[in-house]
Structure 1
Amino acid sequence: MNPVTNPYAPGAGSPPPELAGRDAVREKMSICIQRVRLGKADKSIMLVGLRGVGKTVLLDQMMRDAEAQGVVAIRIEAPEGRSLPAALLPQLRLGLLRLSRLEKSKDYAVRGLRALAGFVGKLKVTFNDIEVGLDYEAEPGLADNGDLEGDLTALLEQVGKAAQSAETVVVIYIDELQYVPEPQMAALISALHRCAQQKLPLIVAGAGLPQLRGRMGEAKSYAERLFAFPPIGPLGEEDATDAIVKPAASENVAVDEDAVKLIVQYTQGYPYFLQEWGKHAWDVAEKSPITKADVEKASTEAIAALDESFFRVRFDRLTPTEKRYLRAMAELGQGPHRSGDIASELGRESSSLGPVRSSLIAKGMIWSPTHGDTAFTVPLFDDFMKRIMPGRDWLNAEV
């Protein structure tokens, strides 16, 4: 069939044609915004889940939903190796400038911009990656103590007061939140806690890997009372079916029931993989309907595409020792696995593998569902590891 009209959209953060199975979370966020706008307490939302479940797509859709409600939306990503202030301050500035154009919130917004100037003046030495324009002189004593937690709290308070005077809500959307270092995470949580105590309309919607919940709890013990952590997982059979059938139907193409079932089986309902299989099944099929035979033929190409992009880009960041650790996990199956079992597979003592395990957690490749357990953060990565490191030579080989 015509590849130009192929409706499926595999890609990092690419919105799918049918965002199936996420209505409840979107509604939860909408209610949160409406409550906070009215001065009522509610929890900020943190989306947690494995790679490929569509957290980024959902976060962006929630942002579009919020903008339709008239809120001031700020969107950042927290990549590895960059500080939270460096990512956050330029976007906070844009939000404050927007609020400063409204007569009823101008004074608070300008004071927020002065707080931002004070923050930068004191903390730019600590966070030397901060690059942000300053529109006003700093106000002495406002967000300029040189203490991240206190200054970020003072800054977000001013943002919240500006939003309150404008009768709106500021929502900060943060993707890949698990990469924020613990002291910076603690400062953010503390600042949000203070805003919640003052009933200021400023909340955060974040997204991260499953370890995010534990990391936030370690940063501040009250985090679990301040945030809701809806798990974002693979789609159930009905929603996965919709994700395949509805986009095709929009192009007047049918998908046989057996073909859909096979796609769901191959992908285990993970949204990214559903898009990949849908795309290749469409390209392979000569006409409507897309059949089971088409899906079987397309699967080879779908797996090859995943190996070269989704999986390979993560594999190439690993050291030889880290690759062997993950290969040992794959040998044991999908997981989760006990650290001792992984060590036994490698012929090593568990204690000697602690630094490797910690490095893989920091890189977002694995996480610990419970103490002593280890699981992949990337679905189907165990199968990929077996394909790229077959046999048993990997135990001693340089990769």
Structure 2
Amino acid sequence: MDPVLNPYAPGAGAQPHELAGRDGVREMVRIAIARVRAGRPAKSAMLVGLRGVGKTVLLDKMRLDAEVAGCITARIEAPEGRSLPSMLAPQLRIALLSLSRIEIAKEAGIKALRALAGFVKSLKVKFNDIEVGIDYDPDPGIADNGDLEHDMQALFERVGEAAKVASTAVVIFVDELQYVREEELAALITVMHRMSQRALPVLLVGAGLPQLRGRMGEAKSYSERLFEFPEIGALSPADAGAALIKPAEENGVTYTEEAIYTILGHTKGYPYFIQEWGSHSWNIALNSPIGYEDVHKASATVIAAMDEGFFRVRFDRMTPTEKKYLRAMAELGPGPHRSGDIADVLERSVQSMAPVRSSIITKGMVWSPSHGDTAFTVPLFDEFMRRIMPGDEWKR
């Protein structure tokens, strides 16, 4: 079939044709935005889930929803090694420039831009990766004390006041939030607490790996009362089927029952994998309906492509010792696994492997669902580890 008409979007963060199974979360965030805009209390949201479940796609869709509703938005991704202020400042500047162009909010928007100037000037030494244009001179004494937590509060109060005057809301979307340092995460939580206390129309919608909930609790103990933590997981069989079938049907193409069953079996309901299998099956099939043989041929191509891309890019970040730890986990199956069981496979003590486990958690490859347990953050990674490190050679 014509690859130009292929309706699937397997790229990282690419919007799929059919965003199935996420209406409840979108509605929850829509209501929260509407409430803060009306001056009513609402919780910010932290989307937590494994890799490949569509958190980034959902985050971008909700940002579009917010903009359609007339809100001012900012969108950042938190990679390892960059400070939160360096990522926030440029996006806040863009948001505040938009607010300052609304006639009724012009003065309040400029006051917020002055606060941003003081914030950047005072923290540029501490966070030397901050690079942002300054549009106005700072207001002395506002967000310029050099203390991240207090300066962020003062800055966001000005942001919230400008949004309130403009009868809108500022919604900040942050992806990969688990990589933000604890001190900066604590400051962000404190800021959102202050926004809630003052009923200012500023909302935070974040996304991260499952360990994000625990990290936020460690940063500020009251975070669980301040945020909603919807879990973004694998799709139900019905939603997974819709994500696969609807894009094809809208292009006049169908699947046989056996083909659908085979793809859903391979993908286990994970949205990214559904896009991959759907895309490759479409490209291999000569005509409709797409059948079992098409899916069978596509599967070898899909697995090879993901091994060299989706899985390999994460595997290559690991040290040899970390790779052995992950392979020992894979030996036990999908998980989660007790730390003691993993150490037994490696014929090492739990204590000696603790630094390795900690390092892999920091890199975002595994997480701890409960005390002493370890699980992969990437679905099907156990199968990949057995393919790339087969047999028993790795034990040596």
* TM-score relative to the length of structure 1: 0.98
Deviations 1:240-263 (A, max 9, x none): 011111111111111112211111
Deviations 1:162-209 (A, max 9, x none): 000000000000000000000000000001100110000001000000
Residue equivalent to 2:350? 350
Residue equivalent to 2:117? 117
> What code does the residue aligned with 1:233 have?
G
Residue equivalent to 1:47? 47
Residue equivalent to 1:162? 162
Residue equivalent to 1:254? 254
> What code does the residue aligned with 2:95 have?
G
Deviations 1:56-99 (A, max 9, x none): 00000000011000000100000001000000000001111111
Check if 1:242 corresponds to 2:232. no
Structure 1 residue matching 2:12: 3-state secondary structure: coil
Residue equivalent to 1:382? 382
Structure 1 position 106, deviation (Å): 1.4
Check if 1:203 corresponds to 2:200. no
> What code does the residue aligned with 1:333 have?
G
Q: How many residues align?
A: 396
Separation (CA, whole Å) in 1 of partners of 2:195 and 2:65: 23
Residue equivalent to 1:17? 17
Deviations 1:11-49 (A, max 9, x none): 110111110000111111111111111111010011100
Residue equivalent to 1:102? 102
Structure 1 position 129, deviation (Å): 0.3
Check if 1:27 corresponds to 2:20. no
Residue equivalent to 2:3? 3
Separation (CA, whole Å) in 1 of partners of 2:347 and 2:145: 52
Separation (CA, whole Å) in 2 of partners of 1:103 and 1:389: 62
Structure 1 position 370, deviation (Å): 0.2
Gaps of 5+ in 2: none
> What code does the residue aligned with 1:263 have?
I
Separation (CA, whole Å) in 1 of partners of 2:54 and 2:70: 25
Trace 1:164-313 onto structure 2 (pairs within 5 A): 164-313=164-313
> What code does the residue aligned with 2:90 have?
P
> What code does the residue aligned with 1:205 have?
V
Superposition RMSD in Å: 0.7
Structure 2 residue matching 1:369: 3-state secondary structure: coil
Separation (CA, whole Å) in 1 of partners of 2:164 and 2:358: 42
Separation (CA, whole Å) in 2 of partners of 1:83 and 1:245: 42
Separation (CA, whole Å) in 1 of partners of 2:145 and 2:348: 49
Residue equivalent to 2:80? 80
* TM-score relative to the length of structure 2: 0.99
Check if 1:322 corresponds to 2:322. yes
Structure 1 residue matching 2:58: 3-state secondary structure: helix
Structure 2 residue matching 1:19: 3-state secondary structure: coil
Structure 2 residue matching 1:374: 3-state secondary structure: strand
> What code does the residue aligned with 2:51 have?
R
- Identity across the alignment (%): 65
Residue equivalent to 2:140? 140
Separation (CA, whole Å) in 1 of partners of 2:185 and 2:68: 29
Separation (CA, whole Å) in 1 of partners of 2:346 and 2:300: 31
Deviations 1:91-121 (A, max 9, x none): 0011111111112211221111111111111
Residue equivalent to 1:336? 336
Residue equivalent to 2:364? 364
> What code does the residue aligned with 1:254 have?
T
Separation (CA, whole Å) in 1 of partners of 2:4 and 2:68: 31
Structure 1 residue matching 2:230: 3-state secondary structure: coil
Structure 1 position 294, deviation (Å): 1.4
Separation (CA, whole Å) in 2 of partners of 1:275 and 1:102: 41
> What code does the residue aligned with 2:244 have?
I
Instruction: Out of 115-124 and 374-383, give the one that drifted further.
Output: 115-124
Separation (CA, whole Å) in 2 of partners of 1:347 and 1:133: 55
> What code does the residue aligned with 1:8 have?
Y
> What code does the residue aligned with 2:77 have?
E
Structure 1 position 141, deviation (Å): 0.7
Separation (CA, whole Å) in 2 of partners of 1:107 and 1:342: 60
Structure 1 position 354, deviation (Å): 1.3
Structure 2 residue matching 1:206: 3-state secondary structure: strand
Separation (CA, whole Å) in 1 of partners of 2:80 and 2:250: 39
